[in-house]
């Protein structure tokens, strides 16, 4: 199969790895390993994937100014958004914050249609619509009673929404200007490492931190799944349309998470998540024809 027809395969690799990651990502935090240090572990987990990417291009990194700027921008938008999300969750309710940021692919679709002139057939538009139905179903099903401290969290949630929506658009833009996807990922990894000092400053080291196996070591094993998914996403964006890939990956990864939770934790998904699963499966069937 030609690489240009492999965008769906790469997108599915991303959804599977992110889905598995989502099912287990909270385990280290529940055992006393802070989310800010989880970011540090995730950034470090990007290194082996970046080395694989460099190996694939025989260590000939595209050092042109435009490629470097676009690649670093992808990483800055993603990593910066993640750290802002940590702060937002300290102040505001997750049941409002996550639905806001979960529809970030809508911004990607708008930007891609406007500036990249991407178009899909009617069937593809139906698939994208189903992806958003699935995203909304999963995002509104996890409401809780978290306390609210002011409204700064809302501004931060909107910033994360903008960062992640623009990130997917810039990722596609970078693929249009850079001769290889691997260079983009390497720059993305570099940007994630640059934010490690910020994550360390955000960490409250006065609190007990779990440094045993189910802390940083287990976290690394889980976070590397996220890094693999990020690498696959770069390829998916290279060979596919941003306005299709972004909603698809965001809609399908929660399905994998729910299935794993159902098998391992015997957690029966609520009716609204079942609707989300059906919408996501219909979405992938339709977009596979795009």
Least confident span in 34-38, 55-59, 133-137, 148-152: 148-152
Rg value, the chain, Cα: 18
DSSP letter (8 states) at residue 148: -
* Most confident segment among 139-153, 161-175, 258-272: 161-175
DSSP letter (8 states) at residue 214: I
| Token digits of residue 237 | 């964006």
Give the ranges where 140-203 is alpha helix by DSSP (H).
152-177, 181-194, 196-202
Share of the chain above pLDDT 90, in %: 67
What confidence tens digit (pLDDT) does each residue in 224-271 have?
999 999 999 999 999 999 999 999 999 889 889 888 888 887 777 788
DSSP letter (8 states) at residue 5: G
Q: Measure the CA–CA gap between 152 and 160, rounded to whole angstroms.
A: 13
- Which range marks the domain in which residue 124 is found? 3-287
Query: So what's the pLDDT on residue 139?
Result: 77
Report field, pTM of the whole predicted structure over 0.75? yes
- Give how many domains the chain has, as a whole number: 1
């Amino acid at each position: 199969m030609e690489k240009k027809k492999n965008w769906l395969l790469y997108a599915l690799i991303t959804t599977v790895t992110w889905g598995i990651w989502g099912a287990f990502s909270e385990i280290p935090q529940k055992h006393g390993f802070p989310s800010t240090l989880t970011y540090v572990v995730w950034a470090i987990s990007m290194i082996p994937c970046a080395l694989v990417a460099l190996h694939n291009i025989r260590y000939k990194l595209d050092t042109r100014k435009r490629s470097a700027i676009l690649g670093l921008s992808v990483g800055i938008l993603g990593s910066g958004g993640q750290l802002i999300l940590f702060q937002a969750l300290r102040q505001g309710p997750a049941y409002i914050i996550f639905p806001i940021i979960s529809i970030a692919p809508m911004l990607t679709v708008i930007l891609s249609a406007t500036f990249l002139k991407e178009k899909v057939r009617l069937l593809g538009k139906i698939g994208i619509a189903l992806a958003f139905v699935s995203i909304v179903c999963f995002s509104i099903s996890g409401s809780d009673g978290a306390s609210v401290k002011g409204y700064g969290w809302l501004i931060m949630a909107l910033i994360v929404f903008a960062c992640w929506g623009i990130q997917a658009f810039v990722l596609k833009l970078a693929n249009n200007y850079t001769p290889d996807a691997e260079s983009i990922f390497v720059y993305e990894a570099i940007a994630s490492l640059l934010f490690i000092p910020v994550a360390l400053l955000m960490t409250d080291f006065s609190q007990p931190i779990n440094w045993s196996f189910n802390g940083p070591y287990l976290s690394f094993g889980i976070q590397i799944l996220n890094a693999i998914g990020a690498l696959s996403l770069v390829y998916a964006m290279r060979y596919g349309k941003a306005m299709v890939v972004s909603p698809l990956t965001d809609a399908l990864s929660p399905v994998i998470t729910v299935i794993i939770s159902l098998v391992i934790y015997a957690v029966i998904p609520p009716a609204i998540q079942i609707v989300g699963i059906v919408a996501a499966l219909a979405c992938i069937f339709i977009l596979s024809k795009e």
